[in-house]
Structure 1
Amino acid sequence: MLSRLHEAVNRGDAELISKTIDELFDPDVLIRTPLPVKATGAQALKEVFTTLCRAFPDLHIEVEDMIAEGDRVVSRNTVTGTHLGEYTGLPPTGRPVTYNEIFIFRFAGDRIAETWGVVDVLAQMRQLGVAPGGTSGPQRHDRDG
C-alpha cells in the first residue's frame, strides 16, 4: 500500500500524489512530526509533497527497509533530488541532496490514521550549503572497519 505513495512521489505528478494521499490516508490523519505548514491531516501531507516536488522536481524515495507488525508499518528510506526550485526560503542551488528518513504509519482499517517521522533535515541543509558541515551526503559507518 505504501509503495503506491512512493511510486506517485517518484513520478513527480502532483495530481497523482494528491489522489494517492486521499486514498491511503484518513482525512484527519494525526501527523506526529513537526511540519512547516499550518494545515493538518491529509492536507498537510499534500502541502509538504507539493513543496518538496517544486523544490526537487526529480525527488526520488528509495525504500531501504519496510517492516510491518500489527497495525503499524515502518519504512526506512533514502531520499534524493536536485534543488531546482525555492525551498524553505532558499533559492535554487542546483545541488543534489541525499538524506535519510524513517516513518512509522499506524493503520485503522484500510487507511493510515497516524504517522511519526524522523527526517535528516540537517544533512539536507548541509548539502544545500546552509548549515555547517560541508556538502557531503549521509555517511555510512561500517561496524567492521
Structure 2
Amino acid sequence: MNQIDVSEAAKAVVRRNTEEIQGGGNWALFDELWADDFVDHTPQPGRTPDRAGALELYRVLRAAFPDFRPEIHWQAADGNLVTTFKTYHGTHHGEFLGIAPTGRRIQFETVDAMRVVDGRITEHWGVANLYSLVEQLGAAPGAK
C-alpha cells in the first residue's frame, strides 16, 4: 500500500467512527474500529485515557444529546494520522457535565487527530470548544 492508499483508508475509518459511532450510536462498530491498546493523549475530564474512557464519553454524549450529529467540514491525513475538523449538533435532553437538561439546541467545534493502524484507531489527540457548549447551556459564568 502506498502513502495515498494508507491515508485514504485511515480517513475512511475515522469518518465511519464519526458518522456511525458518534452520530449513530453503533456501539458494535466501536469494538471493530478501536484497538484494544488505544491511548487518548487528551482525555476529557473524568475520563480514562483508554478505549473504555472513549466509549464512555461517546455514550454520555449520546445520552445527553440523543440527536447528537457530527458535521465533518474537512479531513487531512499524513499517512495513518488523520486530522478532522467538525461541528457537533444536538439538543440537550440529558445531564451533561453536571448540567441538568435544558432542551436547548447546541453546536460546538472540535479538531482531533487519530492514528489508524491495521484498520483500527490506536491514538487520539483533540481539542473541543466545551466552553462554548457550557455557555450555550447557560452554565458558563455570565451566560444568559
Query: TM-score category by the smaller chain?
Result: 0.7 to 0.9
Q: CA RMSD in A?
A: 1.6
Mapped contact 1:27–1:43 kept (Cα < 8 A): no
The answer to whether structure 1 residue 50 and structure 2 residue 59 are counterparts is yes
Mapped contact 2:93–2:102 kept (Cα < 8 A): yes
Q: How many residues align?
A: 131
Unaligned runs of 5+ in 1: 136-145
**Percent identity of paired positions between Structure 1 and Structure 2:** 33
**2:125 maps to which of 116, 120, 135:** 116
* SS of match in other structure, 1:35: coil
Q: CA deviation digits over 1:54-90, x for unaligned, max 9?
A: 1000100000010111120001000111101111111
- Displacement, 1:42? 1.5
2:51, 2:114 → 1: CA distance? 13
Q: Higher relative CO (CA 8 A, sep ≥ 6), structure 1 or 2?
A: 2
Mapped contact 1:59–1:81 kept (Cα < 8 A): yes
- Displacement, 1:134? 4.0
TM-score normalised per structure 1:
0.83
Mapped contact 1:37–1:48 kept (Cα < 8 A): no
The answer to whether structure 1 residue 4 and structure 2 residue 16 are counterparts is yes
Distance 1:42 1:64, change over 3 A: same
* Superposition pairs of residues 1-145 of structure 1, within 5 angstroms: 1-8=13-20, 9-11=22-24, 13=25, 16=26, 18-132=27-141, 134=143
Mapped contact 1:101–1:119 kept (Cα < 8 A): yes
